[in-house]
Structures are given as structure tokens and as C-alpha cells.
Structure 1
Amino acid sequence: MTTPRERLAAVGNQIPPLIALIVLWMLLWGEFSWLNLLVAFVVGIVVTVVFYLVPVQLSGRLHPLHTVVFFVRLILDIVRASIDVSWLAVKPRLVTSNAILAIRLHTRSDLILTWTAVATSIVPGSIVVDIDRESSILYLHVLNLHSAADIESFRRQVLDTERRIVRGFGSREDVERMRGVLPVNRPSARRPSARRGAGSEPGKGTP
């Protein structure tokens, strides 16, 4: 049986999607009124009860500096990728070489998995086509990959995005799990345990 604290936590986890549904309803109507707010609340309650989803466990942690770093880097990635994709569109004698990649993340958090998928998809040149939630694997369609080095570079970029998200607002468990994960600009560095064959990094063993 669930304890009162667990039931209270389950109710609290349904509040964010309820608020999102209310905001969406108000945006669809295009105006604010108490009647629209009341109807949005009732519709939101019905949707969250009838179409009940597994609650997303919020981390309850926010690091302001790392959060700012994540968003600043995301904006820079979007600008850079937009320029690259624009050049591909006008490049003479373009030889396309796209790929579907499966990238295993380090986290097991639904929240971090969703944030990483969204942050990766909004950067031009790649889009998430499927997610294996149980194994924390993102399947992505990626443009302009011509070599194994290009594939490995993209894998490291996705894992680096995950690392920045975890450092910004991941749980303490996620932070501990990400310790020792190297940023994208140091792909060749290894800890001593890794050199002795202690194990492979997530994201490298999945084709």
C-alpha cells in the first residue's frame, strides 16, 4: 500500500501537466476569461485522470550557473547548425550521407531523457525518431555524416548535451551517475580505470 506521502507526491507530479493543459487551452481560445479558465481546469482534470500518464519525477534541484550555460550553449548550437544546414541546401555538388543513430544516455530519468531529446531535436540537422524509454536510448536521424569520426563526434555532442542538462537541473543521483563523463572537446581522454578495461562508456556500444 502507498503511504500518504507517496500519494501526495503522485498528486503533485500531476500538477505540471495540468498547468500546461490549462495554458494550452487558454492559448487556443486566444483570450483570458474566468469562464475559459474554469473550463480549462475541468478539461485538464478530466484529461489527466482519464488519460493518466506515468508521472515525471522532478529532481527538485536547480543550479543557476549550469542552467544558464546549458541554454547559452543550446542557442549557439542552434545558430551554428542553422548555418551548416543552410550551406548544405545551397552547396554545389552536394553528396548526402545521412544516418539513423542509436545513442544510449547515461541517465535513467524520464525528465532528463525528455529534455535531451527536445534539446537535440530543435538543433537543425538532427531529429529524434524514436525513444527506448526502458533502456534510455535515443534514435536519431542525422544529416551529413560521412565517416565514423562524424558519427562519434555527434554521439559525443548528444552525451555532452545530456551532461549539461544534468548539471543544470538533474537530480543528485543523475549528477553522481554523470561523474567522469568527458565533454565533447576531450574525446580521447580516459580515466585510469577505463585504460585498464573497466568498461565501455554508454553511447558507444550501440550501433
Structure 2
Amino acid sequence: MTLHPRRRGFFRQWPTALWLAVVWTLLWGDLTVGNVLAGVVVGFVVTYAFPLPAIGFRVRVRPWPFLVLAGYFLSELTVASFQVAGQALNPRFTPRGAVIGVKLRNPADLYLTITAELSSLVPGSLVIEAHRLTGMLYLHVLDLEAHGGADKVRQHTLDLEARVLRAMASDDELARAGLARHPRQEASA
């Protein structure tokens, strides 16, 4: 006997239902049996009425490239914070902003979202639009001259995407994006 696909999905989403029960209990601020049971009921009703779609791919986090990505992001965040603070405190500074379009190598939702979020979190740039079908990100840059021009902004965003892909993408996705996983593979390509 096999389960209906909707019921099968419901049983796969039990961690989400339990997480919703925990959130329900925390929102009420009182740990009682009634609140916990109500949270469990609400969690299972919500996950049954509004099931989450399945993610069509697996993420493989590679520890070293992930640490490189995190270190790169933290250094960019620190440097850009000081640059934007200096620009904000300079009364003679007149920013010359621009909107730059960047076509990403891999338009998958996860990588597009992570690249967009990391770009937006760094002061001085903000993703104003993302097209998931075409893989285009449109970034507003506070001062185009300080970033080195439009081509430099595009290359910087593509480098960030490459770090994200190396940290999380499968070998097949890396190959399709034109990024070899190991230096030996780059030399042979």
C-alpha cells in the first residue's frame, strides 16, 4: 500500500510542523501542556494545508570553500562599512550611483538568492531586482567610481557567485558554470 503524494509530503514535513509548534509556544511565552499541544496541532494543520514545495536539488557544503566564502564576505563587509561611513561623514562627497546588470553563471534559485543576499548585505551596493528565469541581478551601487566602474562591479559579483558555487554546488553544476572544482581540473580544461 502506497500513500497518496500529498500525505507522503505531509509526513516528510514533520520537522517543519515541530518547528512551528516550538515557535507557537515561544510566541505565547508560557510553557504549558495546553500551549505545546495547541502548537503541535497548529503546526500539523499549517503544514498539511500549506505544504512546502520540494527542493529539486541537493546542496553539498564544502567546508574549506565555505570558510573562504565566509572570510571573503566578512572582509568585504568590514572594508565597505568603513568606506561608506567615511563617505557619509565627508560633507563634500557627492555619490554618483548607478544600476548595473549582471548575468550570473548559474540561475538556480538557491545560488541566485545567496549571491543577491551577500551582495546586498555589503554596504554600498543593493540588489534591486533579480530575474530568476534569466539569472540577471540588477545592483544599485552607491558610488560607481569608488567601485572601479561597471565592469569591475560585474566581475566582483561574478567572483562572489563563483565562491558561492564552489562552497555549495555539485561538481556537475560547477562544470556547467565553467568553474573547475580543483586546480588540476582548471589546468586540463
TM-score normalized by the length of structure 1 = 0.68
CA contact (8 A) 2:98 2:140 kept: yes
Question: 1:26-175 counterparts in 2 under 5 A?
Answer: 28-29=27-28, 36=35, 38-52=37-51, 54-146=53-145, 149-175=148-174
Describe the shift of the 1:42–1:92 C-alpha distance in structure 2 as closer, same or farther (beyond 3 A). same
Q: Secondary structure at the match of 1:96?
A: coil
Structure with higher helix content: 2
How many pairs align?
Answer: 180
Q: Distance in 2 between the 1:112 and 1:95 partners?
A: 34
Q: Secondary structure at the match of 2:81?
A: helix
Note the C-alpha offset of 1:14. Answer: 5.4
Q: Which runs of 5+ in 2 are unaligned?
A: 181-189
Describe the shift of the 1:63–1:23 C-alpha distance in structure 2 as closer, same or farther (beyond 3 A). farther
Question: Which residue identity does 1:99 align to in structure 2?
Answer: A
Q: Deviations over 1:56-110 (max 9, x none)?
A: 3342412110011111111111111101110110113111111222221111321
Question: Which residue identity does 1:64 align to in structure 2?
Answer: P
What's the RMSD between the two structures over aligned residues?
3.6
Question: Which residue identity does 2:116 align to in structure 1?
Answer: A
Q: Deviations over 1:1-40 (max 9, x none)?
A: xx99x98996698577667656655664557666555544
Q: Distance in 2 between the 1:12 and 1:166 partners?
A: 31
Q: Deviations over 1:165-202 (max 9, x none)?
A: 11111123321123358xxxxxxxxxxxxxxxxxxxxx
Question: Which residue identity does 2:177 align to in structure 1?
Answer: M
Larger Rg over CA atoms: 2
CA contact (8 A) 1:56 1:111 kept: no
CA contact (8 A) 2:104 2:161 kept: yes
